[in-house]
Structure 1
């Protein structure tokens, strides 16, 4: 968990404690009494006040009401939205399945003119075939024990590919060779996926660079990330998706992308690497 996120959560916890201590009514409202009033275990009150648990909007509304200060809910909710906008836990995002997450991304891409993407371990979502995407969603739904809305999620992701054919857009994809060879799906599905990639080379709206295993690197591959119009950078970890919009951070990600791109090959050379990966699937 990022330090900024934890600091913001601790500050919200301190504010909750302040509301409890200053609750009107004359009687000192202890943590135990508040827990009883809310019907919660006392440990939950302690965790929220000490910044060890992230409250939901419903938790904050109940807290404000139970401490006799319902009017502070808007303030508490704004704090929550402020620090959750940068660290979006998968547990919360996937509460209703993968489709809503994909639809959020569809909206982001619709409002984006230029996208830069680095991916080191999987084919980028906007370039995936339906079968490849299906296997990715199934793997992550199993890992995160989330709602299995696989077919709806696949349709939403594939719909995003319509933007690849819209004039005025530019998508700069940068992929490490490892992503071409990761066997996260049956070999027949991976073969079709690699065939799909070769067909994208030369499109007006798409720049596809491949960083070969043999290329010298100035930076370690690191996590995959996306930069939208140099206004927002996003990256994923196992627990959350990070949305980073401060100018210095976005500029750092842009420098990383440009540095990695110096090791990439394009056009015919990129097509050769994809073809080699495709042929390796037929090797005994």
Structure 2
């Protein structure tokens, strides 16, 4: 891999992983527009590690409180809001974990066409716009109940469809059950931690079974750039949605999906 490829792929991954615009939709364009060879599984693992580092560092205080409270709950000292939030994150991750394991081959082999990606971009983008327009909720991630968590966790399964956007569909579901924009985004970002761990772990296992030559400098730079861009993305997204909401991202999704249909099938 040359350095330009490392930089472009790292920034695309970092900037689109947490925005509700679908990283898979953007990543399919890179080899098409640049004619670069596949970057390899090791580099994919490095990019996931960068994204994971960013969200863990950003939510480090919340995660530390969740860990301590969960340990206290296990010892029988009561369940506070932090321990409950940690349980909700684990519970909401179960549906997509099970579905991802069972449907992995189908999704990776049969659902990565540009038609599916473009249609998902547009359709789920419009749904996000509807959820944002009808919002009025004020719930934070600490005020969720069992029904809301199961709804959001079930919706996350739809993220297996390329072009849907994991962050987009979880924010949509969260807005529909009465969460605030910031609360929906923060819960979505917390949900990304176990999902990225599972996805990265699956790729790492495949890499272990099929060892490849590793370009360590490229992996180090890719991890760093992915982490920095993802951290900045999380920070500024939470600032921006308070002021302008989700509609700019909805418009972008619809236009991008329409362009994909025209570019590949027009």
TM range, smaller chain: under 0.3
Structure showing greater Rg:
1
TM-score (norm 1): 0.20
Structure ranking higher on relative contact order (CA contacts 8 Å, 6+ apart): 2
> Which has the larger helix fraction?
2
> Which has the larger strand fraction?
1
TM-score (norm 2): 0.21
